[in-house]
Amino acid sequence: MLSDVTTPQDLDDRFRETLAALPAPAQRRDLADPVTDDAPLTGAQLLDLFDAQVTSRQLDLAGRWLRSFGEGFYTIGSSGHEGNAAVAAALRPTDPALLHYRSGAFYCVRAAQVAADAPTPPAADAPTPPADAPTSPAADAPDPDSEPEPAGSEAPVGGFVPYAEAARDVLRGMVASSEEPIAGGRHKVFGRADLAVVPTTSTIASHLPRAVGMGLAVERLRRLDTAGRRTGTGVRVGSGAGAAHVPWPPDAIVVCSFGDASVNHASATAAFNTAGWYDHAGLRIPVLFVCEDNGLGISVRSPEGWVEATLRAKPGIRYFSADGADPAGTYAVTQEAAAWVRRYRRPAVLHLRTIRLMGHAGADAESAYRSPAELAEDLDRDPVAATARLLVDAGVATAEELLARYDETGWQVRRLAEEVLGEPKLASAADVVSALAPRRPVRVARAVADAAARASGPGAAAREEAFGGKPPELSGPMTLAQSINAALADGLLDHPQMAVFGEDVAVKGGVYGVTKGLRDRFGAARVFDTLLDETSVLGLGLGAGLAGMLPVPEIQYLAYLHNAEDQLRGEAATMQFFSRGAFRNPMVVRVAGLAYQQGFGGHFHNDNSVAVLRDVPGLVIAVPARPDDAAPMLRTCLASAAVDGSVCVFLEPIALYHTRDLYADGDGEWLAGYPEPGSWVAGHVPIGRARVYRIGSADDLTIITFGNGVRMSLRAAAALAEEGVGTRVVDLRWLAPLPVADIIRESSATGRVLVVDETRRSGGVGEGVIAALVDAGYVGAARRVAGVDSFVPLGPAARHVLVSPEAITDGARTLLAR
């Protein structure tokens, strides 16, 4: 009996009723024949898709069953979206896919395709294939027009068996088993490296900017692969330690699916716009967007016609549409769309009409916002029943046979569910965090040493040439900006897959000249201007990193990172966590920021808040204050990204970019020579190690600071030294992870700690420093000077809210008086 809420029972009952009512086929059709005269699928192929769809459906039912007795933790299902089985079938299993959370059937088909393509040892009596026998698309250069046969096209019809592995993966995700193949129990995601399925987060649409970045990178690396060096299904670009392994074949296209409500999200509109913008500019972005349109975003309807109207109107993105309840049609349209994207390397969107059965998720009472008539109508449009109808109409199978397959699959899925619910879960916090980006300082140091050896050995001539015959170590004392510029150049020389990009970084050379000349030296393919959208700048980095590049995107001002911070927090920082390191997006994000720009800008050019970054698990935050720290710290970040896949934020204090003096005008004490490669090893700066300046006896006071605070504190310490006060000034250099050991050692040495924190009092860095001292049992005196909890005003009024030299001296005197 159909209630006013679609329940698993309703769905199951209705499916059985629908099949039972189907008339017996007039005559049987050979499985090898097209399912209808003009269909692109044979009976066997369609039957295979049916089995994938049924597996997905039974997984949804099993998810609710597991939930009913507290063993399942995820009930967002794919019911109504099983048309995406035909989408998967029309793609190559080597096309990287970032999937919507309703992709059960897609995932089943992809896993079966890969298993079918896996080399099996030939039988002893198997004939040797002729030299020109077709091989899998990944194994040789495919004809861009030829799309693959769907899974099982030549194999005997397999029922549930080809999908058992995928079903186990999904069930393991539902029960949070630590044996789940991608997230290891950290989340229920669709993902597996060998299936080229990249896990996506629950943040709708946040994977779209990454997909565009992947498209750009796949295309760029394909062009770089001039020597045609290939390994397996991927491509190796460059040589030596800087070589990148590109995990996808050169003619791969990126597939990215999402729901209809998601098309309205800022991240989605950014991605469509960026794909279109590049297309308009003549650059190639081979991405197939797939919008699975069930008409609803939880309870909110997409206005009739809106999704089509908005998708059709995206400049530079070609529109295709299909009905998910028509597997043959969906297959044909996807084939056409994929062939177009593959051949022309241009973006397209497939608008796939679907329905949503059993509500948004297990707990969703649809009756609150949908009428019984509407729910019943959706049940009539069940795509799995539609596939069954087509099979029976065509004489491929009888309804009884299909029901028998449905029941057998249901039984097998429950059996697997029972098996996996007993598997271990993540057992400790250490287990959970083991999947965060690893930190291997010895290997990072070795990578820096290797880079030094290359720069002074085999790479010396190229280096000399790139620097126009005058390497930076011969250029005399440098500013912070010049030092970063030289270190970027050295990075580009050493990492062939490194790219520097962002708003204004290339032709202009950066708003502050930090990237000046890099484009001329390294070319527009490696140093390029992007469009003005921070979400897309980071999205390009996310995709490029995943594709094997070493991206160094720039965010022009710290205040504008907040436009796009989810791309760092939700996407970049979680990738290794949700994939146990199977996928990684190494990245060094340069951000110009912090305050004290004399006479320029108000808050947005002087933003002094990093709170949003400090608590992102695994994220590295570097703040170089001085030129002689900036170059080694940047080298460390690049090495850590390459070695450990780290996501690093390299926060550059704008006010110090061009500073030359420290104590007195003209003293040049804030300049430093650039180290020649022979001294890179000795000057290596590990992540999480502070720098300590000892002034006078260094016994009376410890100032802990970073960024602009270093210069102000050194000046204050010099003044105190004239009064006989000995100070040690600790430049944290790394805000995450904080140099806790250095903080505690240097604080304990004097017993008086002044934290000079140019970020805000609330949520500022100082909170972390004080907490580290308390955690360690520090018992001395401590004070904090920090920015006022305010935005930074324009002009001289900024002085009222920023940490001033006077405040530092006052704070020091108060401490010394105790």
Ligand X SMILES: Cc1ncc(C[n+]2csc(CCOP(=O)(O)OP(=O)(O)O)c2C)c(N)n1
Point out which residues bind ligand X (CB under 6 A). 102, 202-204, 258-262, 294, 296-298, 356, 360
Alpha carbon distance 253, 219 (integer Å): 9
Q: Which residues contact 753 (CB under 8 A, 6 or more apart)?
A: 701, 702, 703, 704, 747, 773, 778, 780, 781, 782, 783, 815
Query: How near is the Cβ of 664 to ligand X at its closest, in Å?
Result: 53
- Tokens encoding 281: 């500019």
Alpha carbon distance 79, 208 (integer Å): 23
> Positive or negative CA dihedral for 30, 36, 41, 44?
negative
DSSP 722-761: HTT--EEEEE--EEES--HHHHHHHHHHHSEEEEEEEEET
Backbone angles phi, psi at 706, to 5 degrees: -165, 170
Query: How near is the Cβ of 712 to ligand X at its closest, in Å?
Result: 40
Q: Do strands 234-237 and 244-246 pair parallel, antiparallel, or not at all (unpaired)? A: antiparallel
- Cβ closer to ligand X: 20 or 298? 298
Query: How near is the Cβ of 423 to ligand X at its closest, in Å?
Result: 27
**Quick count: other Cβ atoms within 10 Å of Cβ 816?**
16
Alpha carbon distance 308, 320 (integer Å): 10
Query: How near is the Cβ of 379 to ligand X at its closest, in Å?
Result: 17
Q: Which of 292, 366, 534, 571 is catalytic?
A: 534
Query: How near is the Cβ of 570 to ligand X at its closest, in Å?
Result: 9
Q: Which of 81, 207, 495, 605 is catalytic?
A: 605
Contact between 512 and 657 (Cβ < 8 Å)? yes
- Cβ closer to ligand X: 76 or 719? 76
147 is catalytic: no
- Tokens encoding 17: 């009723």
245 is catalytic: no
Residue nearest to ligand X (CB): 259
Which of 18, 57, 33 lies closest to 396, judged by CA? 33
Q: What one-letter code names the amino acid at 2?
A: L
- Cβ closer to ligand X: 258 or 657? 258
- Cβ closer to ligand X: 208 or 549? 208
Which of 138, 298, 329 lies closest to 204, judged by CA? 298
Query: How near is the Cβ of 261 to ligand X at its closest, in Å?
Result: 3
Q: Do strands 230-231 and 234-237 pair parallel, antiparallel, or not at all (unpaired)? A: antiparallel
Q: Which residues contact 333 (CB under 8 A, 6 or more apart)?
A: 320, 321, 322, 350
Beta bridge partners of 588: 648
- Cβ closer to ligand X: 80 or 185? 80
Query: How near is the Cβ of 92 to ligand X at its closest, in Å?
Result: 25
- Cβ closer to ligand X: 575 or 717? 575
Query: How near is the Cβ of 340 to ligand X at its closest, in Å?
Result: 25
- Cβ closer to ligand X: 301 or 508? 301
- Cβ closer to ligand X: 84 or 702? 84
Which of 146, 153, 116 lies closest to 33, judged by CA? 153
Positions marked catalytic: 534, 605
